[in-house]
């Protein structure tokens, strides 16, 4: 499903600055959940602002393969004909979830509870990602799941005799794990509780409430009673703050840049990037704060500055977990040293993001020393702190977009290999960023 191989290259010329008003595509986390919960609801739900990136399309196709009728009424407008909690049908073959960890871990919770066998598969990156973190607690609930010896996908779910609620103290702050367990909890006997070391994003809890489910939630804690049904509702998906991060960092690292990003989700479990960039010296102003589909949104104005290095760790890590590749670029452009700690989860994302960023920055002449749980990056803070050259995105969308943004402060062109997976989360990235002032072009390998 996802695009593998070095096929697409970005070539980004140095310099430029960002300006204008942009709307980035819909939130990936919320779009996945809208399809899943809409499918399990009783009645018809409409989703607007849906992210038609490859990851969310994998989720959509998987539910269609289980008998859910999903109409695409417009480029980002879906109508989901819910089948109810017990209405999914056995698919005719394995469900291919491409590059999408969110699809695999959340759907694990649902597949564990079905009366038919299902196999979940993914691309080469997803097939290497750790699944025991979700499989083990689901097995404790009674699920019957086969994995590879390494605890990776393919995951095969066999019908279980019924699931029992658990109280699970998760060792990782992971919304994917928490959500997978809560979704299984909808089918379980009793009350399922998940606690976690730091609060992870709470979109599942919020959206379940939108579908009429009673959820008890506070930071680091969520609980749901089994047996509740979902009532169809309409969901408006905010712009994704994780995608907005790329124009935000692009503007922040170039003094004189000034951009506004509209209707960006500012759920407090996701706003670490705003705190980090402000601490580094960028000016970020929030206006038109409002609620969209149960989620807070705002327009974000970002004005660039010469950034300063900072220490980043602790509770901000979970709320900016997908933003670190771009933060590493901001650190490279800052004056002084940036130290990132407590971010070992970056090693098990679509790529090992600590290694991918440190390797790439080193290739571009920046001192970026990897540590097991983060990195030490010595910013050069000069006119062109980043050198030119070729870097490998390792097929990771966020690595590719981060190095594209780095070219704004580079001494020469940056060529980025293996960029096709940008379409998993940010279709239209090249056009949107080029329109705002990034000198980016695509090259397709022949």
Looking at the Cβ atoms of 398 and 409, the one nearer to ligand S3P is: 398
Residue 308, token pair as written in the block: 């300063």
Q: How far is the CB of 312 from ligand S3P (least distance, A)?
A: 16
Burial class (CB in 10 A: 0-12, 13-18, 19+), 144: middle
Cα–Cα distance measured from residue 255 to residue 239, given in angstroms and rounded to the nearest whole number: 25
Q: How far is the CB of 95 from ligand S3P (least distance, A)?
A: 18
Nearest to 177 by CA among 241, 132, 240, 127: 132
Q: Which stretch binds ligand S3P (CB under 6 A): 175-183, 233-241, 260-268, 331-339?
A: 175-183
Residue 61 as a binder of ligand S3P (CB under 6 A): the answer is no
Q: Which stretch binds ligand S3P (CB under 6 A): 15-23, 174-182, 265-273, 408-416?
A: 174-182
Cα–Cα distance measured from residue 273 to residue 56, given in angstroms and rounded to the nearest whole number: 23
Q: How far is the CB of 435 from ligand S3P (least distance, A)?
A: 26
Query: C-alpha angle 107/112/114, rounded to 5°?
Result: 100
Nearest to 203 by CA among 228, 183, 226: 183
Residue 269 as a binder of ligand S3P (CB under 6 A): the answer is no
Q: Is 322 a catalytic residue?
A: yes
Q: Which stretch binds ligand S3P (CB under 6 A): 169-177, 190-198, 249-257, 274-282?
A: 169-177
Residue 176 as a binder of ligand S3P (CB under 6 A): the answer is yes
Q: How far is the CB of 397 from ligand S3P (least distance, A)?
A: 10
Q: Which stretch binds ligand S3P (CB under 6 A): 65-73, 78-86, 171-179, 302-310?
A: 171-179
Catalytic residue among 27, 55, 202, 322: 322
3-class SS of residue 81: strand
DSSP 7-44: -EEEEE-S----EEEE-PPBPHHHHHHHHHHHHHSEEE
**397-406 and 353-363 helices cross at what angle (nearest 10)?**
30
Site size toward ligand S3P (CB under 6 A) is 11
Residue 421 as a binder of ligand S3P (CB under 6 A): the answer is no
Residue 175 as a binder of ligand S3P (CB under 6 A): the answer is yes
Residue 174 as a binder of ligand S3P (CB under 6 A): the answer is yes
Residue 153 as a binder of ligand S3P (CB under 6 A): the answer is no
Q: What residue spans of 189-290 are helical by DSSP H? A: 203-210, 241-252, 272-280
Over the window 26 to 45, marking each residue x when it contacts ligand S3P by CB under 6 A and - when it does not, the resulting string is ---x----------------
Q: How far is the CB of 426 from ligand S3P (least distance, A)?
A: 12
Which residues ranging from 302 to 321 are in contact with ligand S3P (CB under 6 A)? 321
Over the window 323 to 352, marking each residue x when it contacts ligand S3P by CB under 6 A and - when it does not, the resulting string is ----------------------x-------
Residue 353 as a binder of ligand S3P (CB under 6 A): the answer is no
Q: Which stretch binds ligand S3P (CB under 6 A): 108-116, 173-181, 217-225, 336-344?
A: 173-181
Residue 245 as a binder of ligand S3P (CB under 6 A): the answer is no
What sign for the dihedral angle of Cα 47, 239, 207, 62?
positive
Neighbouring CB atoms inside 10 A of 46's CB total 18
Q: Compute the chain's Rg from CA coordinates.
A: 21
b/e map of 351-386 (b: 16 or more CB within 10 Å)? bbbbebbbbbbebbbbebebeebbbbbbbbbeebbb
Q: How far is the CB of 305 from ligand S3P (least distance, A)?
A: 28
Nearest to 341 by CA among 315, 361, 359: 315
Residue 201 as a binder of ligand S3P (CB under 6 A): the answer is yes
Q: How far is the CB of 178 from ligand S3P (least distance, A)?
A: 7
Q: How far is the CB of 244 from ligand S3P (least distance, A)?
A: 14
Residue 25, token pair as written in the block: 């595509």
Cα–Cα distance measured from residue 190 to residue 23, given in angstroms and rounded to the nearest whole number: 43
Q: Which residues are catalytic?
A: 322
**Which residues form the interface with ligand S3P (CB under 6 A)?**
29, 102, 174-176, 179, 200-201, 321-322, 345
């Amino acid at each position: 499903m996802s695009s593998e191989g070095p096929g697409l290259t970005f070539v980004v010329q140095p310099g430029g600055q960002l300006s204008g008003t942009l709307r980035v595509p819909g939130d990936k986390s919320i779009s996945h959940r809208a399809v899943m919960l809409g499918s399990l609801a009783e009645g018809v739900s409409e989703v607007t602002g849906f992210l038609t990136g490859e990851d969310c399309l994998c989720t959509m196709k998987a539910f269609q393969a289980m008998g859910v009728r999903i109409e695409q009424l417009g480029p980002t407008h879906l109508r989901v004909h819910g089948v109810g909690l017990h209405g999914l049908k056995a698919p005719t073959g394995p469900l291919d979830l491409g590059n999408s960890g969110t699809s695999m871990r959340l759907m694990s919770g649902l597949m564990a509870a079905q009366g038919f066998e299902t196999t979940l598969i993914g691309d080469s990156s997803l097939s290497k990602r750790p699944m025991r973190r979700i499989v083990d607690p689901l097995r404790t609930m009674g699920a019957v799941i086969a994995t590879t010896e390494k605890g990776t996908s393919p995951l095969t779910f066999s019908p279980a005799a019924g699931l029992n609620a658990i109280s699970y103290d998760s060792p990782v702050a992971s919304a994917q794990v928490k959500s997978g367990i809560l979704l299984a909890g909808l089918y379980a006997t009793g009350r399922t509780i998940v606690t976690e070391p730091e609060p992870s994003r709470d979109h599942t809890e919020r959206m379940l409430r939108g579908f009429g489910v009673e959820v008890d939630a506070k930071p680091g804690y969520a609980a749901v009673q089994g047996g509740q049904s979902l009532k169809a509702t309409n969901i408006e998906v905010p712009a994704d703050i994780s995608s907005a991060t790329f124009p935000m960092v692009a503007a922040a690292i170039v003094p004189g840049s000034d951009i506004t990003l509209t209707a960006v989700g500012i759920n407090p479990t996701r706003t670490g990037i705003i705190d980090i960039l402000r601490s580094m010296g960028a000016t970020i102003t929030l206006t038109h704060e409002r609620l969209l589909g149960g989620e807070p949104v705002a327009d974000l104005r970002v004005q660039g500055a010469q950034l300063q290095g900072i220490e980043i760790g602790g509770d901000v890590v979970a709320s900016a977990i997908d933003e670190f590749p771009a933060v590493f670029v901001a650190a490279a452009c800052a004056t002084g040293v940036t130290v990132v700690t407590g971010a070992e989860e970056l090693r098990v994302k679509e790529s090992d993001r600590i290694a991918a960023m440190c390797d790439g920055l080193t290739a571009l002449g920046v001192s970026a020393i990897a540590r097991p749980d983060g990195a030490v990056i010595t910013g050069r803070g000069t006119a062109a702190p980043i050198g030119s050259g070729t870097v490998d995105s390792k097929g990771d969308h966020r690595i590719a977009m981060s190095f594209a943004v780095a070219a704004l402060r580079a001494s020469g062109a940056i060529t980025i290999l293996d960029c096709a997976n940008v379409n998993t989360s940010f279709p239209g990235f090249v056009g949107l960023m080029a329109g705002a002032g990034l000198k980016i072009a695509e090259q397709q390998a022949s």
